[in-house]
Amino acid sequence: MGNAQSPSSNPRFVSASRAFTPNELEDLKSTFTSLAAQSQSNGRYISPSVFQAYFGLRGVLGERLFDLVSQKRKDQQLTFEDLVIAKGIYEKGTKDEVEDFIYQLLDVTNDGILSSSDLKAVLMAMLDDIFSVTKSEDGSSSDDYIVDIFFNSATFSIDGGGGSENSMSFEDFRSWIALLPSARKFLGGLLMPPNPGRPGYQVPYLLYPENVDSNSLVLRKEYAWHIGGTLSQQELEAWKLLYHSSYHGLSFNTFLGNISNDEQPTVLIIKDKEGYIYGGYAAQPWERHGDFYGDMKSFLFQLYPKAAIFRPTGANSNIQWCAVNFSSESIPNGVGFGGRVNHFGFFISSSFDQGHSFTCTTFGSPCLSKTNRIHPDVIECWGVIPKGLQEARSDTVKGTVLERFKEDRHMLNMVGLANSSE
């Protein structure tokens, strides 16, 4: 393999090589040698089809990534130097270098403009890759609105003029990707070895009672993927339904009772009567307090009509709120996140029939609902089951998620909590 072993005069290759350890370079050489052999190129290059098959990519994303990695030469040949240079920038570069690479990746038409059409094409390819979306004969999908919620978070500030599409500036792109950490993970890890742990591919397994119709759940797998963008891989193993207002009633006491034995983080989701869906990730258990508490792992999120994550800004430490049976008006009973008393980023009163959402400096979030007043239609709360909690029980348990959760499922069956989503 002359390309990989002979000294190179390419300064970009020499510079990129320094970003890797000797073992990493040897692994890259081995990967290249194998893929070049499959490409029937006498060890000289990797072909587009072999590249896309190995990295598990197809369609516009696979084609565009190959084009970028092969330095846009259009010769359909990806050399060892190309691979090292691309991975050196894409995986080892500065934050600006990595995001510039992703920004170019989204320009699937390679016209130097990141248009709305480019972004939609990338979103469709991305979600299809993760969730294997089935299309009808006319190319449409019942899940097209999922593409829209991620698209709706984007801003296109560059005027196309003359009837052309508006386009996304680099700053527009950076703002958009900050709201969608799962998309950032996915788009930033496409040259990593394809395996179930590749960043951006993890979707929590949803466990819920047998008597719960999956169609009645607000939390979809795509929503769970989005919410999980800021969480560790260990927290994306499985989430279990602790409370659902349609089955347990709109009751604050029932809500607290159902989650009181769960010491793990929770995901609280509201679908209001306007159809908006949003909520918060609570890193600490819901416990009675007379003031704010919690830690900086908590965050707010939007799910519909657009998707976004809002993490703590550090402006203050007003993270979680859980007040029960207080008689003072200065301590409103209910659960919430951020902001200040009676002006929360997100709050549901203990009556569970009303609440509010305001622009919030704690999380840098806007009003999450259509208006500041919230009238809940459905309230759900899911408990996060960290992978380590299961592994601590037995280091020898293997198999599927359901098998790994066999003990939990037996316990859940006893209390009527044992089914799972697709």
Domain of 17, CATH number, reads: 1.10.238.10
Number of domains in the chain: 2
pLDDT at residue 199 in the model: 87
Q: Which of 187, 214, 229 is the last residue of a domain?
A: 187
Same domain, 209 and 264: yes
Q: How far, in Å, CA of 338 to CA of 292, rounded?
A: 8
pLDDT at residue 388 in the model: 61
Same domain, 295 and 414: yes
Task: Please report whether residue 254 resides in a domain.
Answer: yes
pLDDT at residue 5 in the model: 52
Task: Please report whether residue 282 resides in a domain.
Answer: yes
State the residue for tokens 């994303």.
61
Question: Which residues, at least 6 apart from 417, have a Cβ–Cβ distance to it below 8 Å?
Answer: 207, 208, 209, 240, 241
> Residues 259-289, buried b or exposed e (16+ Cβ, 10 A)?
beebebbbbbbbbbeeebbbbbbbbbbbeeb
Task: Please report whether residue 199 resides in a domain.
Answer: no
Peptide bond into 305 cis (omega under 30): yes
> Taking the CA of residue 151 as centre, how many other CA atoms within 13 Å lie in the half-sphere pointing to its CB?
19
Q: DSSP alpha helices (H): ranges in 289-400? A: 387-391
Q: How far, in Å, CA of 129 to CA of 57, rounded?
A: 7
Task: Please report whether residue 194 resides in a domain.
Answer: no
Phi-psi group of 384: left, alpha or beta (phi > 0 → left; psi -120 to 50 → alpha; rest → beta): beta
Q: How far, in Å, CA of 133 to CA of 206, rounded?
A: 18
Same domain, 153 and 270: no
159 near 166, Cβ under 8 Å?
Answer: yes
pLDDT in tens, the chain (422 residues): 444 455 677 899 999 999 999 999 999 999 999 999 999 999 999 999 999 999 988 889 999 999 999 999 999 999 999 999 999 999 999 999 999 999 999 999 999 999 999 999 999 999 998 987 555 455 555 578 899 999 999 999 998 777 778 999 999 999 999 999 999 999 999 998 777 778 899 999 999 999 999 999 999 999 999 999 999 999 999 999 999 999 999 889 999 999 877 689 999 999 999 999 999 999 999 999 999 999 999 999 999 999 999 999 999 999 999 999 999 989 999 999 999 999 999 999 999 999 999 999 999 999 999 999 999 999 999 999 987 655 443 333 333 333 333 334 433 343 344 444 33
82 near 72, Cβ under 8 Å?
Answer: no
Same domain, 183 and 216: no
Task: Please report whether residue 342 resides in a domain.
Answer: yes
Question: Which residues, at least 6 apart from 238, have a Cβ–Cβ distance to it below 8 Å?
Answer: 204, 205, 206, 207, 385, 401, 405
Same domain, 265 and 396: yes
pLDDT at residue 192 in the model: 87
pTM: 0.87
pLDDT at residue 421 in the model: 39
Task: Please report whether residue 195 resides in a domain.
Answer: no
Q: Which of 141, 156, 187 is the last residue of a domain?
A: 187
Q: Which of 135, 158, 187 is the last residue of a domain?
A: 187
Same domain, 173 and 261: no
Task: Please report whether residue 219 resides in a domain.
Answer: yes
Same domain, 294 and 172: no
Same domain, 367 and 267: yes
DSSP 167: B
Task: Please report whether residue 196 resides in a domain.
Answer: no
pLDDT at residue 133 in the model: 58
Same domain, 169 and 254: no
Range of 16's domain?
2-187
End-to-end CA distance of the chain: 45
Could you write out the DSSP letters of every residue in 123-157?
Answer: HHHHHHHHH-PPP-TTS--TTHHHHHHHHTT----
Q: Is 223 helix (H, G, I), strand (E, B) or coil?
A: helix
pLDDT at residue 401 in the model: 36
Q: How far, in Å, CA of 320 to CA of 235, rounded?
A: 20
DSSP 235: G
Same domain, 44 and 123: yes
Same domain, 332 and 397: yes
Same domain, 178 and 264: no
